[in-house]
Amino acid sequence: GAVVSQHPSWVICKSGTSVKIECRSLDFQATTMFWYRQFPKQSLMLMATSNEGSKATYEQGVEKDKFLINHASLTLSTLTVTSAHPEDSSFYICSAPARLAGVGGNEQFFGPGTRLTVL
Amino acid sequence: QKEVEQDPGPLSVPEGAIVSLNCTYSNSAFQYFMWYRQYSRKGPELLMYTYSSGNKEDGRFTAQVDKSSKYISLFIRDSQPSDSATYLCAMSDDKIIFGKGTRLHILP
């Protein structure tokens, strides 16, 4: 199958600091990756689409200057939460599409998530 | 009307029962339909995927897509306590859209 990893799995930081989260596709290449945020008992909320070699596309209401996305290679996308505040505390999940053998579509494979707590 | 509707539950059923999870959608352009399972504080895990209409079976899981009714279902046979999780439906044409997820509890 297609494996996506995230690092770190959890992080605690002070208010005002920046936090970087990495998303890697381990056994396939991904020109596109997606970043989601999930609050407790809520569904996934798409934040942005990360595109290798070009600028990320942000969903309405997501501040691009606060959530910096860099898709430096075909296997790595990073999300940096700048000047984090307690309201940014959430579960951040990335995903990448991978075409499975014998199937015509692109299925999304998710990383294990990163739990961010801002004090 | 939201693009994808899914009852959040929680849904509690006894061990061994058949579980039926459903989603409705409004966009007739959706072609790919998926079900994900998410355990608490974990990323979603792809369970089933279906292209267009029809049924697909994998072990105890069966996915059904009825495009004429814009309705998809996931059936779990012989449910186990380890099936307790949140189940998210998802569908896509170009962009993937998720349901809000249904919390399922299998009671031992």
Hey, are the CB atoms on B96 and A108 less than 8 Å from each other?
Answer: yes
Statement: residue A108 has pLDDT above 90: no
Summarize the confidence of residues A4-28 as an average pLDDT.
95
CB B38, CB B86: distance < 8 Å = yes
Question: What is the dihedral sign for C-alpha B67, B73, B74, B75?
Answer: negative
Q: Which amino acid is located at A97 in the chain?
A: P
Hey, are the CB atoms on B49 and A107 less than 8 Å from each other?
Answer: yes
Cis peptide before A8 (omega within 30 of 0): yes
Residue B94: the pLDDT is 72
When mean pLDDT is compared over A23-32, A87-96, A106-115, B41-50, the highest value belongs to: A87-96
Distance CA A107, CA A100 (A): 7
Residue A40: the pLDDT is 83
Summarize the confidence of residues A74-87 as an average pLDDT.
96
CB A100, CB B26: distance < 8 Å = no
Statement: residue A35 has pLDDT above 90: yes
Around A27, how many Cα atoms within 13 Å sit in the side-chain half-sphere?
6
C-alpha distances (whole Å) from A19 to each of A8, A14, A22, A88, B3 are 10, 10, 10, 11, 33
Residue A82: the pLDDT is 97
The two tokens of residue B78 are: 């012989």
- What percentage of chain A carries pLDDT values higher than 70? 92
DSSP secondary structure of B44-69: -EEEEEEESSEEEEETTEEEEEETTT
Name beta bridge partners: B53: none
Residue B1: the pLDDT is 62
The pLDDT averaged over each successive group of 10 residues in chain B (108 residues) is 86 97 93 92 89 90 95 97 96 83 95
Statement: residue A46 has pLDDT above 80: yes
Summarize the confidence of residues A58-86 as an average pLDDT.
95
B103: closest chain A residue by CA = A41
DSSP secondary structure of A48-82: EEEETTS--EEPTT--TTTEEEEEEETTEEEEEE-
Q: Does B46 touch chain A (CB under 8 A)?
A: yes
Q: Which amino acid is located at B106 in the chain?
A: I
Hey, are the CB atoms on B46 and A43 less than 8 Å from each other?
Answer: no
